[in-house]
Structure 1
Amino acid sequence: MDFWPEFLASSSGREFVAGGFGGTAGVISGYPLDTLRIRQQSGHNGSAFSILRNMVSKGGFASLYRGMGAPLASVTFQNAVVFQTYAVLSRACDSSDSAKDPPSYKSVALGGMGTGGLQSLLLSPVELIKIRLQLQNTNQSKESGISPSKVVKNIWRKEGLRGIYRGLGITVMRDVPSHGVYFWTYEYMREQLHPGCRKDGQESLNTMLVSGGLAGVASWVCCYPIDVVKTRLQAQTPSSLKYNGVFDCIVKSVKEEGYLVLWRGLGTAVSRAFVVNGAVFAAYEFTLRFLFNNENVQIQETI
């Protein structure tokens, strides 16, 4: 009965809950653009608008949210873990003796990189399932109406644990540097837009949205070619095996479609990143403030 009050009384508990709300806001706000990005990366020709129109005409607006159940359930938890882990690691990497001062930018980047590596273990299977669901009714997959649980059972039956973690290595290669850039950009931009806010936490909603959006854009730009390769590797099934690894995927993709294939869908990804991460950080910061202020009110009432 006393678990939640005690959990929320700790800084790590508040970071966990606030991160969860941020993850939920991010998934809901950006999922249609994420589905569009996956289809562009996997080899669909045509403009973003034509692909989007084709998806809606064949499957209705619901097709834009196909497969959202898995990431919505997991990303909420994953994002909670990410923000909690980042808070711990950024503090652990900081040499400052004062707990009141915010972590240095170097500590922020190192904490973000460590967080990216750890969260890949959870994120890789989730993204694999999401990609398989998003590619239903395409030339990569002829399956239709398959639920997330059915996808998991099919992968486990045909490929085992190795299949569930297909693409783990390249997910780590993507997430370690991108998370370092992600958190560094957010902390740097919020301080530039509202000097002193890293210490007093009093920035405006616009500062949160813009800083979070720019952090998302920067993290995607720095790792986008790796993400294209990851999508193509995870879209494969044992019956449609085309690439034998990361290097083979890069060579074959560039040979068949040119170097620009490594940047296909970047516009969609950047647009989505700005919207999603603005929502993520705004929800995170507001939830954190609410929990912190609520704790202060409870303390004052007790006194």
Structure 2
Amino acid sequence: MADKQISLPAKLINGGIAGLIGVTCVFPIDLAKTRLQNQQNGQRMYTSMSDCLIKTIRSEGYFGMYRGAAVNLTLVTPEKAIKLAANDFFRHQLSKDGQKLTLLKEMLAGCGAGTCQVIVTTPMEMLKIQLQDAGRIAAQRKILAAQGGTQASVEAPAAPRPTATQLTRELLRSRGIAGLYKGLGATLLRDVPFSIVYFPLFANLNQLGRPASEEKSPFYVSFLAGCVAGSAAAVAVNPCDVVKTRLQSLQRGVHEDTYSGFLDCARKILRHEGPSAFLKGAYCRALVIAPLFGIAQVVYFLGIAESLLGLLQGPQA
């Protein structure tokens, strides 16, 4: 069973590489998702993902679509590494008897992975959301000022947008470490069910495409399984993602609701915007998660890190 032992350094490196590639590819869609989820009825700036991206490019330039990407690229490596490696670890621990994992054990492994990742996910999402939504707030205020005839306000130079470092310092100074973990409960309610759905679904879809004579599925099977499982899990937990995004947004547009907690936020969304509001950004999130996890699983199962570590260690005697 020695060949079945998991190599933790390799899993961490694979998760990191996968996260960097995936985030770079899909970040603009994630920005659109955040802005669509944050806008409330009566203050709608965007009608769809494409409308959001077009308006973002017009008002903030091409690189406006990557606002907050630096935070994600910095923290996605430990986040994805923890998530994928933790799932592998728990699956390994739960299958020590040599038996095939039952669905319940697969779900338990996913639950463990989702719980571990929030250590990094919560502050990453907290900072990213502030940076992603800053352009929407600024544009909304400019439009309202123009409609009110306050030309001087429109022509006044825009206030400099804060950086992730400035936001971190301000949150730590004003609220302590708890400031970076605002929305932790909502993040857990999103990420734990996501992992419970995603990992068992991926494992079973991936198994379906594995030839009997092969130890691993072909890379395209892993990619498609990651895409399908990621999309399904993303849509399933989107209501919690909407609530999490609202709770973690520190700046509000004019006349937008504020929230005291998860239940208060969910009630106000339901009362003022209807049940459909919980699906805001769902297709954007599916478009983000599908390639992100497809790429992640290909990198992970191709074992790129194992090859790199093998080269560094040199030929064995």
Question: What TM-score range do you get, normalising by the shorter chain?
Answer: 0.7 to 0.9
Q: Does 1:48 align with 2:62?
A: no
CA deviations on 1:102-136 (whole Å, 9 max, x unpaired) are 64443322111111012112210110000000011
CA distance in 1, matches of 2:80, 2:172: 25
1:148 maps onto 2:146 in alignment: no
- Corresponding position: 1:18 with 2:5: no
Identity %: 25
The one-letter code of the counterpart of 1:76 is T
Select 1:235's aligned residue among 234, 237, 249: 249
Deviations 1:208-264 (A, max 9, x none): 210110121121122110000000000035998711111111111122111110001
Partner of 2:238: 224
2:115 maps to a residue whose letter is G
AA partner of residue 167 (structure 1): G
Unpaired runs of at least 5, structure 1: 1-8
- Tell me if structure 2 keeps the 8 A contact 1:91–1:107: no
How many residues in Structure 1 have an aligned counterpart in Structure 2?
Answer: 288
Q: How does 1:241-256 map to 2 (within 5 A)?
A: 242-256=258-272
Query: Matches of residues 152-191 of structure 1 in structure 2 within 5 Å?
Result: 152-191=168-207
Q: Matched residues in 1 for 2:85 and 2:50: separation?
A: 38
1:21-100 alignment, distance < 5 Å: 21-43=17-39, 44=44, 45-94=46-95, 96-98=96-98
Structure label with greater radius of gyration: 2
TM-score calculated relative to the size of structure 1: 0.86
The answer for the alignment partner of 1:291 in structure 2 is 306
In structure 2, list runs of 5 or more residues that go unmatched. 142-158
SS in 1 for 2:189: helix
Amino acid at match of 1:113: C
- Structure 2 residue aligned with 1:207: 221
CA distance in structure 2 between the aligned counterparts of 1:114 and 1:147, rounded to whole angstroms: 33
Distance 2:271 2:20 in 1: 39
RMSD of Structure 2 on Structure 1 (CA): 2.7
Residue 266 of structure 1 corresponds to 282
Distance 1:162 1:77 in 2: 20
Corresponding residue for residue 5 of structure 1: none
Moved over 6 A (4+): 238-241, 296-299
- In 2, distance between residues paired with 1:173 and 1:235? 17
Q: Deviation at 1:302?
A: 3.3
Other-structure match for 2:126 = 128
Whole-angstrom distance in 2 between the partners of 1:29 and 1:154: 30
